[in-house]
Amino acid sequence: MKKLTIAALLTVMTLPAFAEDNGGFKADEPAPPPHKQDAGIRGSEDARGATVELARTMRQDAWVTLEGHIIKKTGKDQFEFRDKTGTVGITVGANRWNGDEVTPEDLVMISGRVKHEGKQTHVVVEHLLKQ
């Protein structure tokens, strides 16, 4: 009985040590200052702080993330997107809406591939997030 009690006591005492290695929130390091925080989106360097104006100069199939408004529907899956620098056509497949209803007043973040067709630039949206 004594051996069982000691073994049980040792097991209970060592459980917190094992629990610390299982992930979760750890406050060991301070949070970054506000000016170093990003939007939480990871992508190529050319996607950071992108605008419609910049997207027009990007290479074919470059990944871009834009923040702005979808202002009108121009075709089945075709829309016009606007930010503070201008407008660009976008394609948003039915499966990219994530069940969200978006109006022109809603701020959205889109990520996708830049496409150039002649003098026109277009973005094929892979991710859409209503803000």
Q: What is the pLDDT of residues 24-82, one digit of tens each?
A: 333 354 444 444 434 444 444 444 579 999 999 999 999 999 999 999 999 899 999 99
Upper half-sphere CA count for residue 10 (Cβ side, 13 Å): 6
Could you state, in order of their start, the residue ranges of all structural domains in the chain? 52-130
Q: Is 64 exposed, middle or buried (0-12, 13-18, 19+ CB in 10 A)?
A: buried
pLDDT tops 60 at residue 85: yes
State the pTM of this model: 0.63
- Give the tokens for residue 30: 């301070």
CATH architecture of the region 52-130: Beta Barrel (2.40)
